Structure 1
Amino acid sequence: MVDIRDEDEAGNLKEMIRWFLFKLVIALVLETEWAESSKSKCNPTKAEATCKECINLGPGCAWCKTVNFTKAGEPNSARCDSEQLLKNRGCKETDIIKPENVMKVDLNRPLGSQGKIVTQIKPQKIQLVLRRGSPQKIEVKFKRAEGYPVDLYYLMDLSYSMKDDLEKVKKLGGQLLKALTSVTKSIRIGFGSFVDKTVLPFVNTHKEKMKNPCPDKNEECQPPFDFRHVLKLTNDSKLFTREVGKQYISGNLDPPEAGLDAMMQAAVCGEQIGWRNVTRLLVYTSDDGFHFAGDGKLGAILTPNDGKCHLNKEGFYENNTKYDYPSVAELAAKLAENNIQPIFAVTSQIKPIYEELSKMIPKSAVGELKEDSSNVVQLIKDAYNNLSSKVIIKHNTLPEGVRISYISNCNDEGSVSDKEGVCLDVKINQEISFTVTITADKCLSKTASFEIKPLGFTENLEISLKTECNCECDDKPHASEHCNNHGAVKCGICSCDQDWFGKFCECDLGKRSTQELDAACRRDNGSTTCSNQGDCICGACICHTNPNKKIYGKYCECDDQNCERNLGKLCAGHGRCNCGKCECDAGFDGTACECAQAFKQCQQNKGSNICSGRGNCTCNQCMCNAGYQPPYCKFCPGCPSPCPAYVPCIECLGFQSGPFEKNCSASCTNIKHKVVDELKEQNICKEKDSKSCWMNFVMEELEGVANYHVTILKKTECPPPTNVIAIVAGGVAGVLLVGLVILLIWKLLIELYDRREYRKFEKEKAKAKWNQGDNPLFQQATTVTVNPNFKED
């Protein structure tokens, strides 16, 4: 009886063995592919490569500087290979040039507090020397310190709708300091306010409204302004309350405000605001949206925001009508540059707008502000805790050709990013780390520097970077016998003196230029020197030696291996390869000598030509010339008729006239002919001779190329002679007839026109009223004058 469990265990064991063998095969294949790919990457395109060109191909490439390392005929590029392959070929380990990355830590203070100095990131300064393409890993550690100092600048919207909120803010000083003292012992607060740009259509520029923008004239409002810095950062809560208490509301026309203008000035005016080198918070309160870049055009403000400080002595943003609002991207860059973390305390109606804005500004938070700002203290405290627990490390502008990636080691998986490292919910005194990988993909012309820093903190890691793209070989500068005393050895190869060149400086430039000598080693302008298979020595190609193939030719363009194969054999084993073509042994044919010579199936009859003389017999099959069809290349359906091309020959052979009359037999040797009284064939050609007479003939193609038998009809068909007199007379009569017809038509048109005009005249005459001799406009006088003094006595 068989135990089922034993069968299951045996099956599992077989499956495990099969899986192990599969994994082993995959690993071997991958290792082989990796080795081959590594080797291929270390093949310089130039035969006369240098050590510098070699090491810049990639981090896996090394150079052997041993003087006699290359064999006769081998190019200098053979010195470039992987380190292991160079050792296998006999290069001494001490002669292998393979630069490695160098990292030097200049400053590495421990994390934590040392007196007044608080360190949250380590190391602080590093010098890197990188080989092109070789990545360098740096372990960056961060520890969130307890009681880290905080500067908080309160930025408030003073448009008319924030009237109720201002009364709450006036009492904030002591509450804010008390609330934030629980998380830090060093806290300073400041205050600023904003409304909008002081031009139409943002504010009412009427003279009275510029003095008091309140809707009610009996209510007092301060004149409109863009941004005003009121109180420098201070730890005096009473001073904060006193200065903020002096503020009163203002007003503008449109709902959006100049909030981004105010944030920009608060960020870049560090001296006026009083920012310390500590955690910097910017609290922004508003109940409406904001203007951004481009909106200034509505007020004819076209100059883009310059991102600079423009506060006057009174703290007002004096150039607000000159510069446009900043863009969100520009503001985000300035906030990050100055390590400022914004907290947007806004009402519920506009909270979604500021949530979208927060996505574009790193290390920012959004909180919902009650209608009267009564919860602002708790909101700020919660936002600060959320911002502080989220650690983001990021780099500033990198040198061209340098890339960086981050692995955040704050969870089990470790997130990977090319932009930044992020850790969430970091507790106070919790140490976290980031693996930063830096790679230089190109050689830098000079030492470059950049920073990696945690956003919202003033500490950073300064990195000084340069690349190693040259070989240090410790060569002697004087002439060497190895270079025929006309050059010095540099990294194993000869660096020749002026006017000397060659692998061992054996060639004198003389009167020929290097361009001429180089051109002598090329087949044409588009080809490479010595076909990349030899060295150009003094204007002549010396072909490389290769145990696997023979390289030859004036330009080393030929070898005995690059020919067609059949069944895996070069030239089917029945010929030899000569410069890309197979030369077959006797009795064999074909491009790869794959066919035994046989012509039986290439002949229509026993005595006929092979392939009718219009093709080649390959592998006992006709390969016909263009247009002709197998099996015997007799017919060419698509070929044009030969009749028009042989008209001069037909005329001279059949009628002893035409352009070939004097040398007909010499000009028409490929044509056999006969003249007949009647043609019975169907495919009769009909062409005109030199006298415009029609010739009738039949052409039959014979074997071979352009061989014909022609049967010619004895009589030609000539058209009757032209009657010149009749043609001239007919032409003159025709012209006269046409002229007469045109004249008659013209006369008819004139007559019709005259008749129509006469009828019109008669009609108008009938309407006239002058035939009575009276003027219809004349009226008899009707006025009677009476003398009042006349009494008829």
Structure 2
Amino acid sequence: MPQAMRIILLMLFGQYVYSLEECIKSSVVSCDDCIKSGPSCTWCVDLNFTKPGEPEAVRCDTEAKLKERGCKQNKIVNPPSDLKLNRNKPLSSSGSNPVQLQPQDIELSLRPGDAFTFQLKFKRAQGYPVDLYYLMDLSYSMDDDLKNVKDLGTKILVKLKEITGTARIGFGSFVDKTLLPFTDTTEEKLKKPCPAKALECQPAFGYKHVLSLTADGNKFTKIVSEQKISGNLDSPEGGLDAIMQVVTCVDKIGWGNSTRLLVLATDAGFHMAGDGKLAGILEPNQETCQLDSNHMYSKSNTWDYPSVGQIARKLEEQNIQPIFAVTEDVSLIYKELSKLIPKSEVGVLSKDSSNVVNLIVDAYNKLSSNIIVTHDALPEDISVTYTSNCEGGGKSSEKGTCNNVGIGKEVIFDVTVKAAKCLDASKTLNIGPLGFNEKLKVLVTTRCKCECDNPTGLHEYCNNHGRIFCGTCSCISGYLGQRCECSLGMRDEAALRAQCRKDNGTECEGRGDCECGVCKCHQTDGGKSYYGPYCECDDEHCEKYLNKLCGGNGTCRCGNCICNDDYDGPACQCKKSNEGCQTGETVCHGRGKCVCNQCICESPFKGIHCDDCTGCKLPCQESGSCIECEVFSKGQKNTCTENCKHLKISSVKNLFGKNCQVKDSEGCWMSFSMTRLDGFDKYTVKVLENRECPEGPNVPLIVGGSLAGVALIGLLLLILIKALFYFKDLKEWKRFEKEMQRSKWAQADNPLFKEATTTVANPVFTGDS
């Protein structure tokens, strides 16, 4: 797009935005109130701007509208947001103290709601110092890697100095918490946690700081060569524990004013917050340095592992950029971790870590060339966004990003700061690129006071009873009113103001000024005036229909719609017509009212025309007496006629759709159908002219059958009783036989028995017969 065309479009767009400016004000009674209302609100200080009786609130509006009403430019108060440069050193890419960020210290005075934009420049310096801390996993699986790392110090320093000129290197190691289930806690295993075949093994530990940052590569090689492998039980290690100590122990590690790199070398995953509960650790990580005199992490078995969020925040606070040098099998885990930590890289180690030097150099080049500008924790009610003026930029976001920024290349970021409301005190925030110590200090204040050139002394505009302040009167004691025209005298000011409060509420409902006990109402946003004794009424806040006040079919009066003759409803949205409610000669079948040309049904009826009564029961039983009387001439005819006027009853020879069946007084079944008529209790009833009556009883058959039944029952009873006696006797006989069989008769002589020894003979008896 040609440059001229872009300029024209920007001008048109600016005019469009300007035309959309609006000053949304409420309860504005002073210039300060106006300025606080929004960035588009301005105040006219011209004494002759208001008409007699017109409220001072009309002085507050957009600059364009105030000019339309006749306020001159030099009489409009519109304090702008502005910027003050406190320190603004030019960018320099070389020297002992290069400047990579400009400006360095500013003050912003912001109108509430106004988005203020300024430029932040960054230029990568040649020879900017680098601090690299090598944090190594010393679990037994890293035995081969340790042998190679012992010779790394000098190589890493040489490579980094080729890029930056100044570099330092440090070393630390970690394994895991020395508690079950992470480490075998038997005394022998704590002293030598490695397998039996290992010749050298140091006792189990969590994290140990070995060497502070130094530019002496030989010292690094010597100290690291003295390190021994260790071990633990489970696969994940305590890497996050170690990172937290490296980040928080700034002085002991020796971090300087430099690009800070942390290399984590491991072949395993990591434990995170919550895993400590497996070992009974309940206290969360406190994010502080806890190295003892031996440079060991003293809270390893007391504090839980830190969370990923804690690690990401602390790394960002200290401008430390992590490089995860990991083996292939766990690279996916650390790539996911890298997504949660800004300015971090993942490199894949060879099996013996022989490629670690090139891996570190490649990761450093990527990290240092990707510039991400952001801020620290923002004060409440302040927001910051960034727009990058580089390839791929142009979109406003919470972070400004420029990739592939070479050494000596300058990039610019548009920084937009906004204060949502007036601040009670000044607020400070820091803005800068991640991974670099240089930050822009921003002091934010808000402009919520009018800055007017006020005349001194009492002024005739205020009837010499007040002073001018931004075009309005500030009355001396004993006077009040828009122009101090009301003298209190012996009257109490509070009593006068109480007369302007409805039901002891807000003075003039917040829509007017109380002058000498009388409300002088302000204008509405539509240019009309509030009215009523307490300014409680206006004609612009009635209900709307189709985005029209009172639907365009009535007049708004004191918040209520007064509808035209042909319309009804709270917003005059209803045309007075029953056309949509007609159901023959009735409206809504006589079961509801027609409102807004729609039926409003009475319970239990529903539906568009109140013709649905799902679940309602027909009064079949209640209608039985009427049907018996009308159709079958049973009961009292006159009484029946009076009580059955709601039913239109007729008899038919054949009945289809029978929905009722009721017994009459003679026990006959009456079958009929009932259909609802318009209204609530009216029905058309069609009755089958033939009843279903039960046949009379057969007396001879009933008597004969009864006698035969009695005789049969008696015979059955006799047989039953006889059978009971028989079975009882039979049972007793069998029991007797069993007793007889059980008895045994003994044959023995009775020792007490003596046979007779006396013989008596009859002398007469001769023996002859």
- Please state whether the residue corresponding to 2:467 is helix, strand or coil: strand
2:118 — aligned with what?
Answer: 138
Shift in Å, 1:128: 1.0
| CA offset digits 1:556-599 (Å, max 9, x no partner) | 677899999xxxxx99xxx999989999xxxxxx93699xxxxx
Instruction: Look up the match of 2:408.
Output: 429
The 1:637/1:278 distance shift into structure 2, 3 A limit, reads: closer
Give, as a single letter, the amino acid of the residue that structure 2 aligns with 1:540: V
Equivalent position of 1:127 in the other structure: 107
Which residue of 286, 291, 296 corresponds with 1:306?
A: 286
Q: Identify which of 311, 335, 356 aligns with 1:355.
A: 335
The structure-2 alpha-carbon separation of the partners of 1:457 and 1:685, relative to structure 1 and needing over 3 Å to count, comes to same
Q: 2:170 aligns with which of 190, 197, 200?
A: 190
C-alpha distance after superposition, 1:338-386 (max 9, x if no partner): 1111111111111111111111111111111001011111111111111
User: Which range moves more in the overlay, 172-181 or 462-471?
Assistant: 172-181
CA distance in 2, matches of 1:81, 1:511: 31
Amino acid at match of 2:445: K
Given the superposition, is the C-alpha separation of residues 252 and 514 from structure 1 closer, same or farther in structure 2, using an over 3 Å criterion? farther
Question: Are 2:82 and 1:102 aligned?
Answer: yes
Equivalence for 2:516: 538
d(CA) in 2 for partners of 1:297 and 1:680?
Answer: 87
For 1:545 and 1:289, the matched residues in 2 are separated by 70
CA distance in structure 2 between the partners assigned to 1:469 and 1:450 by the alignment = 20
Instruction: Give me the TM-score of the superposition, normalised by structure 1.
Output: 0.67
Cα contact 1:396–1:450 (8 A) shared by 2:
yes
| TM-superposed deviation, 1:145 | 1.0
Matched, 1:417 2:396: yes
CA deviation string 1:238-280 (max 9, x = no partner): 1111110111100000000000111110111011111111111
- Is the 2:247–2:320 contact (alpha carbons within 8 Å) kept by the matching residues of 1? yes
One-letter amino acid of the counterpart of residue 237, structure 1: G
Kindly indicate whether residue 361 of structure 2 is the aligned counterpart of residue 381 of structure 1. yes
Distance in 1, matches of 2:248 and 2:14, equals: 56
Calculate percent identity across the aligned residue pairs: 47
Letter of the 1:375 counterpart: N
- Alignment of 1:467 with 2:453, yes or no, is no
1:503 aligned partner: 482
Q: Is the 8 A contact 1:531 1:555 kept in 2?
A: no
Q: C-alpha distance in 2, partners of 1:291/1:485?
A: 79
Alignment equivalent of 1:323, drawn from 286, 303, 316: 303
Match for residue 591 of structure 1? 564
C-alpha distance in structure 2 between counterparts of 1:271 and 1:444, whole Å: 36
Aligned CA distance change for structure 1 residues 168 and 770 (closer, same or farther; 3 Å) = same
1:728-766 CA distance string (max 9 Å, x none): xxxxxxxxxxxxxxxxxxxxxxxxxxxx9xx99x99999
- Residue 228 and residue 771 in structure 1: after superposition, are their counterparts in 2 closer, same or farther (change >3 A)? same
241, 249, 255: which one aligns with 2:221: 241
| 1:622 shift after superposition | 10
The Cα shift of 1:544 comes to: 6.3
**Alpha-carbon distance, 1:114 to partner:** 6.3
Structure 1 residues 453, 543: closer, same or farther in 2, change over 3 A? closer
Q: Does 1:149 align with 2:129?
A: yes
Q: Distance in 2 between matches of 1:578 and 1:274?
A: 77
What's the CA shift for 1:219? 3.0
- Mapped to 2, the partners of 1:66 and 1:200 lie a distance apart of 81
- What residue identity is the alignment partner of 1:538? C
CA distance in 2, matches of 1:392, 1:563: 52
Instruction: Classify 1:558/1:465 alpha carbon distance in 2 versus 1 (closer, same or farther; 3 Å).
Output: closer
Say whether the 8 Å CA contact 1:43–1:80 is kept in structure 2: no
User: Within 1, Cα distance between the matches of 2:439 and 2:737?
Assistant: 117
Distance (Å, rounded) in 1 between the aligned partners of 2:167 and 2:535:
81
Alignment of structure 1 residues 727-738 onto 2, 5 Å: none
- For 1:117, what is the secondary structure of its paired residue? coil
- Cα distance in structure 2, aligned partners of 1:492 and 1:86: 14
Q: How many Å apart are 1:490 and its aligned residue?
A: 2.1
Q: Displacement of 1:85 after TM fit?
A: 2.5
1:254 to 214, 234, 241: 234
Report the secondary structure of 2:395's partner residue: strand
1:537 shift after superposition: 3.0
The change in CA–CA distance for 1:579 and 1:380 in structure 2 (over 3 A counts) is closer
- In 1, the alpha carbon distance for the partners of 2:437 and 2:576 equals 86
Describe the shift of the 1:249–1:558 C-alpha distance in structure 2 as closer, same or farther (beyond 3 A). Answer: closer
Could you tell me how far apart the structure 1 residues matched to 2:94 and 2:309 are? 37
Is 1:80 the counterpart of 2:53? The answer is no
Distance 1:775 1:252, change over 3 A: farther
Q: How far has the Cα of 1:146 moved from its partner?
A: 1.2
Q: 1:44 maps to which residue?
A: 25
Aligned residue in 2 for 1:645: none
Structure 1 counterpart of 2:499, one-letter code: L
Q: Which runs of 4+ in 1 moved over 6 A?
A: 30-33, 544-552, 557-564, 575-583, 621-624, 627-631, 633-636, 678-686, 762-772
How far does the alpha carbon of each residue in 1:615-671 deviate from its partner, in whole angstroms, 9 at most, with x for none?
xxxxxx9999xx99999x99994599xxxxxxxxxxxxxxxxxxxxxxxxxxxxxxx
Q: Render the CA deviation track for 1:676-719: whole Å, top value 9, x for unaligned.
A: xx999989889xxxxxxxxxxxxxxxxxxxxxxxxxxxxxxxxx
C-alpha deviation, 1:452, in angstroms = 0.7
SS at match of 1:45: coil
Matches for 1:657-676 after TM superposition, within 5 Å: none
Asked whether the equivalents of residues 47 and 471 of structure 2 are also in contact (C-alpha less than 8 Å), the reply is yes
What's the counterpart of residue 338 of structure 1? Answer: 318
Mapped to 2, the partners of 1:355 and 1:296 lie a distance apart of 24
User: Superposition RMSD on alpha carbons, in Å?
Assistant: 4.6
Alignment length (residue pairs): 602
Q: Does 278-287 or 414-423 show the bigger shift?
A: 414-423
| Aligned counterpart, 1:158 | 138
Which amino acid in structure 2 is aligned with residue 81 of structure 1? Answer: D
Residue 501 of structure 2 corresponds to residue 519 of structure 1: yes
Give the TM-score, by structure 2 length.
0.69
Q: Which moved more, 1:151-160 or 1:545-554?
A: 545-554
Deviations 1:532-557 (A, max 9, x none): 4x644333344569999798654567
Quickly say closer, same or farther: Cα 1:629–1:503, change in 2 above 3 A: farther
CA distance in 2, matches of 1:81, 1:329: 47
Which whole-Å CA distance do the structure 1 matches of 2:338 and 2:158 have between them?
Answer: 27
CA contact (8 A) 1:58 1:133 kept: yes
Change (3 A) 1:259 1:32: closer
Q: Would the alpha carbon gap of residues 58 and 684 (structure 1) be closer, same or farther in structure 2, given more than 3 Å must change?
A: same
Q: Distance in 1 between matches of 2:259 and 2:559?
A: 75
Alignment of 1:282-293 (within 5 A): 282-293=262-273
What is aligned with 2:72?
Answer: 92
1:447 aligns with 2:396: no
Cα 1:73–1:307 shift into 2, 3 Å: same
Change (3 A) 1:553 1:623: farther
CA contact (8 A) 1:145 1:429 kept: yes
Alignment partners' CA distance in 2, 1:544 and 1:215? 89
State whether residues 162 and 286 of structure 1, in contact with CA within 8 Å, keep that contact through their aligned partners in structure 2.
Answer: yes
Letter in 1 for 2:474: S
Q: What pairs with 1:689-700 in structure 2 (closer than 5 Å)?
A: none
Amino acid at match of 1:45: S
Shift of the 45–213 alpha-carbon distance from structure 1 to 2, 3 Å rule, reads same
Distance, in Å, in 2 between the alignment partners of 1:375 and 1:622 is: 88
Paired AA for residue 564 in structure 2: T
Whether the aligned pair in 2 keeps the contact of 1:582 and 1:593 (CA below 8 Å) is: no
Q: What is the CA-CA distance between 1:76 and the residue it aligns to?
A: 1.1
Quote the Cα distance in structure 1 between the aligned partners of 2:334 and 2:494: 75
